[in-house]
Amino acid sequence: MRPVRGLERPLLQWIFVGLSVVLIGVVVVQALALRRERGRREAIHANELEVRLDHQELEMRMARERSAREALSLEVARLRGKSAGSNPPSAPPTLTLTPISTPSATAPEASVEQPPPDQLIALRLVLPRAADVRRTFNVSVRSWSGGSVLWMRGNVPATAVDGRQMVVASIAGDVLASGAYEITVSTEPTDGQPSTQVASYQVAVREGQAP
């Protein structure tokens, strides 16, 4: 191999060595900076994930508290009906929804009048024919825009109503304020059987008329 012309001089050799050392130093510094930046991004991502999980946990807690409050309201209404005499309390209004085959990209048209906040409503969700009615189900109501969990109820059995299998749960009127909602029904997990979504529903509530 022929030597490179000019590099046989010691001064040029030392200059070349110095430039090589500087270049290696720059590469090492850039690698360290890249590692620090990657670590900073991973820390930010971990913090965002923790905040998101905390937010979801808070939403689930609020949804469970709403569900417990509705169960308490039902029990209070039943006891009041007993103490009032032989006349049983009137049945709550019903809202029956059928599953959608394909989720829509746009919010559904408002088709339900906004109920009073303290009104209990019997939410009837028609199950698909393929649903295993021997299992219990979990019902979740989410806002259409943000997807936040507003209400949930677990361990709801299937009920036959007018020849159709449904999931029936009592829901307070303040959950269904004016706006669009997505409701999902999924099976409760059991030993050897994970939770799977059974059906999805959509409903939009129009703002109530002023008295």
Closest CA to 154 of 170, 142, 136: 136
Residue 192 has pLDDT above 90, yes or no: no
pTM of the complete model? 0.61
Average pLDDT of the residues of the chain: 79
Instruction: Give CA–CA dist 134/197, Å, rounded.
Output: 15
Could you report the per-residue pLDDT of 123-170, keeping only the tens digit for each? 999 999 999 999 999 999 999 888 888 888 888 999 999 899 999 998
- Report the 10 Å Cβ neighbour count for 63: 21
CB count, 10 Å around CB of 27? 10
- Average pLDDT over every residue of 108-129: 90
Are 141 and 181 within 8 A, CB to CB?
A: yes
C-alpha dist (Å) from residue 163 to 4, 65, 127, 166, 168: 94, 32, 12, 9, 14
Instruction: Output the pLDDT for position 102.
Output: 85
**Residue 97 has what pLDDT?**
95
What is the mean predicted confidence (pLDDT) over 42-52? 72
**Least confident segment among 60-64, 114-118, 125-129:** 60-64
Q: Rounded to 5 degrees, what are φ and ψ at 178?
A: -60, 135
Which tokens go with 158?
A: 């299937």
pLDDT band at 96, cuts 50/70/90?
very high
pLDDT average, residue stretch 10-33: 76
CA-to-CA distance for 156 and 167, rounded, in angstroms?
Answer: 7
Distance CA 197, CA 47 (A): 29
Range with lowest mean pLDDT among 48-57, 73-82, 124-133, 184-193: 73-82
Q: In what order do the strands lie in the sheet with 158-161?
A: 94-97, 120-126, 164-172, 158-161
pLDDT for the residue 73:
59
Share of the chain above pLDDT 70, in %: 71
Please report which confidence band the pLDDT of residue 65 belongs to, taking 50, 70 and 90 as the band edges.
low
Q: Tell me if residue 55 falls in helix, strand or coil.
A: helix
d(CA 149, CA 197): 15
Task: Give me the pLDDT at residue 158, please.
Answer: 94
Q: Which residue has the higher pLDDT, 79 or 55?
A: 55
The token pair at 44 is: 């930010």
Q: What is the pLDDT of residue 2?
A: 54
Q: Is 20 helix (H, G, I), strand (E, B) or coil?
A: helix
Detail the DSSP E strand segments found in the chain: 94-97, 112-113, 120-126, 137-143, 149-156, 158-161, 164-172, 179-187, 197-206
pLDDT at 210: 42
Taking each continuous run of H as one helix and of E as one strand, the counts in the chain are 1, 9
* Range in 32-46, 56-70, 132-146 with the lowest mean pLDDT: 56-70
